[in-house]
Amino acid sequence: MSMRNKIIIGCMLLGALSVGAQEKPVTAADYKQKVLEYSRQIKQSAEERIAMQHAIKAAKTAFFPAVDFSGSYQYRINKYDLDFGPGMAVEMDHNTYSLGATVSQPIYAGGQIYNNYKAAQIQGQIASEAEDLTTDNIVYAADLNYWSAAARKGMYDVMCQYVDIVQELANVLTTRFNDGQISKTDLLQVQSRLKEAELNKSAAYKDYQIALQNLNVLMGVPPMTPVEIADAITTVQPLPMHIGEEAALQNRPDFTISRLNVEYQKRQINLSKAKYNPTLAIGFQGTWGTPMLNVKGSDQLWTPAVFASLKIPLFRWGARFKEVNSQKAILRSKEYVMDYTRDQISQEVANSWTSLTENTKQIDVAEEACKIAEENLDLNTFSYKEGKLPILDVLSAQLSWIQSYSSLIQTWYQQKASLAQYNKAVGIRRLQ
C-alpha cells in the first residue's frame, strides 16, 4: 500500500472508537446541533425577542380605555372652627378623605399611539432577525471549530507517518554505520532530521489537543473531556449551487435588519410630527368622599362627571421642524448603512464562491503533488540504499513529502472553511 493511501485511510478512520472509549464520535452535523442547543448567545437573542413580543403587546394596550383609581386621606390634628361671625362658628371635622375613579379613552392622539405600536412591531421583527443572525454566526463558528480540529488531527497523523519514515531510514543508517559501510556524517544528518520530525510531531499533537478543547467549550462541555470526531478533514461534502446576490439578500438577516432599521426610522419621523398634532380624549370621572369644607356631621358626596380633553399645540419656536429634520438626517444615515450592507453582502458572496471553487480545484492539484512526492521519496530512498545518491537527496525528498502532505491537509481545510463561509454569505444554515 502506498504512503499516500495510508495517510488518506488514516484520516478516514480517525472517527473509529478507541479501545475503552464510551462516547460516540461526534459528526459535524451532530456537533453543530449540540452547539446550537447550548449556545448562550442564541438563548440571549431568544430572550430579547421574547421581550420585544411583550413590548408589542404593551404598546397595543394604548388603544384601549385606561382605568385609574385614586384616593386621599387627611386628619387635621388641631381643632378648627369655621367662623361666620359672632355666635356663628361651625365646627369642622378632623377627617377629610376622597376616593376617585377615572375611565379615559383617547379619540385622537395625533398618530402617536399608532406609530408607537408600528415601531414596536418593527423592533420585534428586528429582534427575530437578530436571533437568526446570531444563529448564522454560531453555525459558522461551529463549522470552523470542527474542521479545524479535523485538520489538526489529519496533520498529527501525517507527522506521525513522517516520523516513522525518518525513523525507518535512521534505523537502516545506524546498522550500516555499525557495520562500517557509511560515514557518521550521514547518520548525524538523519538523526538531526529525526529529532526535528519528533519536535514537529509534538507541536502537531499540542495543536490537535487544543483544537479538541475548543471544540468542547463551544458545545458546553468541560475542555478536558475526551472527545472523538467522526468526520475526517478529507470528507467530501456536496457543494451548493451558485446563488445570486438578490437571493442572498433575501436570506441574510443582517440585510433585513438594515432594511427594518430604515422602516423604524420612518416611524420615528412620524412620531416626531405626532407630538405636535392636536389630541382629543374623552372619559368619565367619579369621586366619593367628604366635601372640600368638611363641616362636622356632613354627608359624604358622590360626584360623577364626564369630560373631554382637547390639546392643540400652537407655537413651539419651530421645534417641530427642527426635530423632524433631525430624524430625517438619521433616516438618510440608516439608508446609507443599508446600501453599505448590500455592497458587503455582494462582495462576500462573490469572494466566498470564488474561494470555494478554486479551493476545490486545488485539492486535485495537492493530491497529485502528494503522489509525485511519495514516488520521489521511494525512488531516492532506494537509490541511496543502492549507493547511487547522497543522503542529502533523500532528506530533500523527505522534506518535499511532508510539505506536500501538509499542503494537502491545509487545502482540504481551506475548502471546508470556504464552504462554511459561502453558506453564511448566502444565508444557508446547513447542518451537513
pLDDT, position 18: 38
Residue 399 in domain: yes
**For 9-21, what is each residue's pLDDT tens digit?**
555 544 443 333 3
For residues 45 and 131, the answer to whether their CB atoms sit within 8 Å is yes
Question: Cβ contacts of residue 80 below 8 Å, gap of 6+?
Answer: 91, 92
Supply 104's cell numbers.
379615559
Task: Give per-residue pLDDT as tens, 191-228.
Answer: 999 999 999 999 999 999 999 999 999 999 999 999 99
Q: Which of 142, 136, 112, 107 is nearest to 30 (CA)?
A: 142
Q: Look at residue 295 and tell me if it is in a domain.
A: no
Q: How many CB atoms lie within 10 A of CB 136?
A: 20
Query: Quick check: is 344 in a domain?
Result: yes
Rounded Cα–Cα distance for residues 64 and 180 (Å)? 104
What local confidence, expressed as pLDDT, does residue 379 receive? Answer: 93
How many domains are contained in the chain?
Answer: 1
* Residue 62 · residue 42 · CB < 8 Å: no
- Output the tens digit of pLDDT for each of the chain's 432 residues: 455 555 555 555 444 433 333 468 999 999 999 999 999 999 999 999 999 999 999 999 999 999 999 888 888 777 766 656 665 666 667 778 789 999 999 999 889 999 999 999 999 999 999 999 999 999 999 999 999 999 999 999 999 999 999 999 899 889 888 888 888 888 899 899 999 999 999 999 999 999 999 999 999 999 999 999 999 999 999 888 888 888 999 999 999 999 999 999 999 999 999 999 999 999 999 888 777 666 665 666 788 889 899 999 988 888 899 999 999 999 999 999 999 999 999 999 999 999 999 999 999 999 999 999 999 999 999 998 888 888 899 899 999 999 999 999 999 999 999 999 999 999 887 554
Q: Which domain holds residue 418?
A: 3-64+111-276+319-425
Taking the model in full, what pTM does it have? 0.83
Instruction: Establish if 282 belongs to a structural domain.
Output: no
* Per-residue pLDDT, 143: 95
What the block records as the C-alpha cell of 56 is 408589542
Q: How far is CA 387 from CA 156, 272, 397, in A?
A: 33, 91, 16
Query: Which amino acid belongs to residue 304?
Result: P
Q: 184-218 and 391-425 are packed helices; what angle lies between their axes, rounded to 10 degrees?
A: 20
Domain presence at residue 349: yes
* Contact present, 138 and 41 (Cβ < 8 Å): yes
pLDDT, residue 46, reads 95
Q: Is residue 251 part of a domain?
A: yes
Q: Check which CATH number belongs to the domain holding 354 and give it.
A: 1.20.1600.10
Task: With respect to residue 76, please indicate whether it lies within any of the assigned structural domains.
Answer: no
Has residue 352 been placed in a domain? yes
